[in-house]
Chains A and B, each alone.
Chain A
Amino acid sequence: MRAALSFLVLQTLLPFSVAVAAPSRVVTLSPLISEWVGEVLGCESAVRVVAGVSEYSDFPECLAGKPSVGPYHHVSIEKIVSLRPDLVLASEEYNREAIARLKSLGIRVEVLPKERFLAMPAWIERLGELLDAVPQAKRQSDLWSKRLKEFAADKKRNRTVFIEVQHDPLITVGGGSFLDEAFDAVGLQNVFRDHREGYPRVSRESVLKADPEEIHILDLRGREREFEESRKSWGRFPALRAVRQSRILRLRGEDFARCTPRLLRALKGLG
């Protein structure tokens, strides 16, 4: 009888004890998080809820005018404090220092794990829980899972690719990055996936040795001239299969820089 009574009391009280009010002043510490907050909440709600964003949070455009808290790798603690957030959404990968500092000031900080292309559904759902927007997040995560299945079904022969993130010094994508997983999902095998760092610096000799079938140049700044210079520079090595077969392609920065729905859409054209 006592046990039954306790159960009844618990059942009555539990929903109140665990319920956390939806945050009303959110600060995001990386452009990826800002973009996903916009995707999950939709622009109308996001504009109301978001109090500040990290620099370069340029998408969705409705959040671009929000107060900046500085670049994601060196955010201004003062600025964040002055925005009186009730939730700060931080990235495990980029905001380690800020997380510790903000927590010591009594600010609620929730840390999102490093983004992994294949694990994004869980990442999105976690964000939904934090924003008290579980159904909206579930829709987005289901969409992501559906696309992953489609990619798996359409996957053709693995072609080897070199992904150039920066030309000088030459920086590529390593095995631990979301782009490596994204390319693999559509049948493009990154020749430097054995490097476990996110974005390793590699030599041109090692690219020649790997002899990729395609070279993909990530154009982060949207500058045609820089892409052309980079393409021409690879043209000096006609021994490369990618050069012989004219398979040097441009990846638009706005599509490939972040692990967001824009990446999913752009990947469809790559496989």
Chain B
Amino acid sequence: MGRVYFWVSVAWVSGVLLSLFFGLDPDQAGLILTELRLPRLLLALSVGGALAISGLVLQTTLGNPLAEPYTLGVASGAALGAALGSSWDGAGGALSLESGATLGASVAILLLLRGLRKRSRSGDSMILGGVMLSLLLAGFLSLWMGLADPSGVRSIQFWLLGDLGRATYRTAVPVLALGLVGMVYFISASAKLDAFLFGEAEVEGFGVSLEKSRRMFVLWVSVLVGFCVSSAGMIGFVGLAAPHVLRRVAGTALHRHLVPLCWIFGGAVLAVGDALARGIARPKEIPVGAVMVVVGVPVFFWIHARMRGRVES
């Protein structure tokens, strides 16, 4: 396990260095590093880490390998809120894109918690409920896009595909703090998470309350995802793929290892993705969400094939 921690840390350091120095213009480098790249790096590490942990926890507690941070509809709520917020912002109102996203995520979390009140909710039915909520909110978002001024739609399209360019210390530090607290919480709850690996029917046999634990985990994940989407838009792939890669690479299902590894690795992956998004077509920026998918999916299959080959041999 020490080797896995070592290589994941190497990936993290590489991500940090790449994010700070890739394509750095020597003119005004000090100002660019301290005021633009450092907060952006902090946000990338925090959001990537939080999304990876969220994906891991949802895949475990819902017993579904396809579960990811956006499965439960919180991100769609944030996206709809951001769209409405940007409209009101443009009209000189009190809402902004970020505050609208936070409000939208909060409303989605409340709807989700209301759904969770009913006992005997299986993981599958929760996923179904989350997907339906996502669809409903995405439908409202499409409605807004159809009715809004096209120039307003364009301004939010970039954000919807993931945008770390808005990062400041004020936006990055709360996500970092919340992500670290979340990681500590999930490490402390790792025994409960491990119990979920034996299936819903067996969880209570380990002295773990299925309903109570799951509700708590889902609430934590929703808050984390809400913060992530509000500050960086919709960034896919990392929340779904990072836990799968680490399970294979680390060869363990124990959450006391997977949770910190996910946090480190998820942050590293997003930091690299953001460096590429920012650097490959300078001064144009490509949405980081698009880079994550286009680069990440082939890399994921490559790792998957390599690990399978190793197991077979």
Contacts and interface: CB of A to CB of B under 8 A. Distances in A.
B151 A198 contact: yes
Nearest to A69: B283
Interface string B280-306: 001111000000000000000000000
Interface in A87-103: 93-94, 96-97
Given A71-B284, A104-B168, A78 B149 contact: no
A201 B28 CA distance: 43
Contact of B32 (A82, A96, A97): A82
Given A79-B25, A81-B32, A104-B168, A201 B150 contact: yes
A97 B284 contact: no
Given A77-B165, A78-B32, A68 B155 contact: no
B285 A76 contact: yes
Given A55-B284, A70-B283, A79-B282, A199 B151 contact: yes
Contacts of A78: 25, 32, 36-37, 278, 283
A81 B150 CA distance: 29
Contacts of A71: 284
B158 A74 contact: yes
B284 A82 contact: no
B215 interface: no
B150 A171 contact: yes
A254 B126 CA distance: 54
Contacts of A69: 283
Contact of B149 (A55, A70, A73, A199): A199
Nearest to A197: B149
A53 to B, nearest CB: 11
A72 to B, nearest CB: 11
B282 to A, nearest CB: 7
Contacts of B158: 73-74
Interface in A27-79: 55, 67-71, 73-79
A118 interface: no
B163 to A, nearest CB: 9
Nearest to A200: B149
B146 interface: yes
A199 B153 CA distance: 11
Main SS of chain B's interface residues?
helix
Nearest to B23: A78
B202 interface: no
B149 A81 contact: no
A96 B86 CA distance: 11
A171 B153 CA distance: 13
Contacts of B282: 76, 79
Most buried by A among B146, B154, B283: B283
Contacts of B165: 74, 77
Interface in B18-32: 25, 27-28, 31-32
A81 B90 CA distance: 26
B166 interface: yes
A84 interface: yes
Given A73-B154, A198-B151, A105 B31 contact: yes
Contact of B27 (A70, A84, A96, A97): A84
Most buried by B among A73, A76, A93: A76
Interface string B31-62: 11001110000000000000000000000000
A220 B284 CA distance: 21
A171 B146 CA distance: 11
A78 B274 CA distance: 14
B149 A97 contact: no
A143 interface: no
A78 B35 CA distance: 10
Contacts of A96: 90
B154 A68 contact: no
Nearest to B158: A74
Contact of A82 (B27, B146, B154): B27
Interface string B177-197: 000000000000000000000
Nearest to A165: B150
Contact of B150 (A77, A82, A199): A199
A82 B28 contact: yes
Nearest to A79: B283
A81 B154 contact: no
A8 interface: no
B166 A97 contact: yes
Contacts of B149: 197-200
A152 interface: no
B86 to A, nearest CB: 10
Nearest to B284: A70
A70 B285 contact: yes
Interface string B255-273: 0000000000000000000
A105 B35 contact: yes
A213 to B, nearest CB: 26
Nearest to A67: B283
Contacts of B35: 105
Give me the 4 closest cross-chain CB pairs, A-B, nearest first. A76-B283, A82-B25, A79-B283, A197-B149
15 contacts: A55-B284, A70-B284, A73-B155, A74-B165, A76-B284, A77-B36, A79-B25, A81-B31, A82-B27, A96-B90, A198-B149, A199-B149, A200-B149, A201-B146, A201-B150
